[in-house]
A and B are shown apart, each in its own frame.
Chain A
Amino acid sequence: MKCEIEQIGGSLVVKLGGEIDQHCAEEIRGDIDRELDIKKSSSLIIDLGDVEFMDSSGLGLIMGRYKKMAGRGGTIMLARPKPNVDRLLEMSGIKKLIGRNKTKE
């Protein structure tokens, strides 16, 4: 699992990689939330480009961050999911929740 976090302008950019399951979701959640609270970012961009595998624990992670950002009036964007990850996102309905224009291919 890889989780690199960088603040660019008002956005917190999180680059995830490897395999995301329940075993590592909590650590990723803690890392993102800590940075969001420190940087007070108005938008969160999760780059899924290097994620090889994700199960519903990853969906829980994304839904939780969506709620957190929505609660503070911010936005969330998912970028570059691989086809297998994209199928999971599509199936879950999370893309509709976040908004199609906010999901970059």
Chain B
Amino acid sequence: MRNYMKLEIPSKSVNEAFARAAVGAFAAQTDLDINELADIKTSVSEAVTNSIIHGYRDAEGVVYIECEIKAGKNCVVSVTVRDEGTGIANVERAMEPLFTTAPDEERSGMGFTVMQSFMDTLDVVSEKGKGTTVKMSKYIHSREGGGEII
């Protein structure tokens, strides 16, 4: 069984909490455990924060969030976070732990590292001036009854 949702939010930092809560609530229809839920919510928070503070910086734009659940024996929760902001010049470099373009603002530079650690797959596509798309997914490890939608 497949299920999905789409969400559009303006790039206001107050929406970070809403975005992760919305994705978390949607993903909760699988029988994921509390750690898997926390991993997804934290990763969504990182991706949305990146779009807001790096993608759009001082301008306001739209952050597009999609979440898809493929339930069944091999249950997967996939989340795509997309912006039409400045884009990342060097994705490989941006994904290095502790790399930050804004050291004065006390960014930890750990956003992509968190996504890599907490999700099972992470794919970042970015083009300077066009925006960034982050696609990540997490396998919901089946317990009794597997990853059926409940």
Whether the pair A22, B49 counts as a contact (CB closer than 8 A) is yes
Report the interface size class on chain A.
20 to 34
Q: Report how many residues on chain B are interfacial, defined by Cβ distance under 8 Å.
A: 25
How many angstroms between the C-alpha atoms of A77 and B102 in the bound complex? 26
How many angstroms between the C-alpha atoms of A64 and B106 in the bound complex? 6
Contact of B42 among A55, A61, A83 (CB under 8 A): A55
Q: How far is the CB of A61 from chain B (nearest CB, A)?
A: 7
Tell me if A's interface is mostly helix, strand, loop or mixed.
helix
Q: Which of A28-69 contact B (CB under 8 A)?
A: 29, 53-57, 59-61, 63-64
Whether the pair A29, B53 counts as a contact (CB closer than 8 A) is no
Contact with A along B1-41 (1 / 0, CB 8 A): 00000000000011011001000000000000011001001
> Provided the pairs A56-B111, A92-B110 are in contact, do residues A23 and B14 lie with their beta carbons within 8 angstroms?
yes
Any A CB within 8 A of the CB of B122: no
Any A CB within 8 A of the CB of B117: yes
Whether the pair B106, A55 counts as a contact (CB closer than 8 A) is no
Q: Which of A52-105 contact B (CB under 8 A)?
A: 53-57, 59-61, 63-64, 83-84, 87-88, 91-92
Whether the pair B13, A61 counts as a contact (CB closer than 8 A) is no
Known A22-B16, A53-B45; 13 more pairs at CB < 8 Å: A21-B16, A21-B17, A22-B53, A23-B13, A25-B106, A54-B42, A59-B108, A60-B109, A60-B110, A88-B42, A91-B117, A91-B118, A92-B108
Interface residues of B, Cβ cutoff 8 Å to A: 13-14, 16-17, 20, 34-35, 38, 41-42, 45-46, 49, 52-53, 106-111, 113-114, 117-118
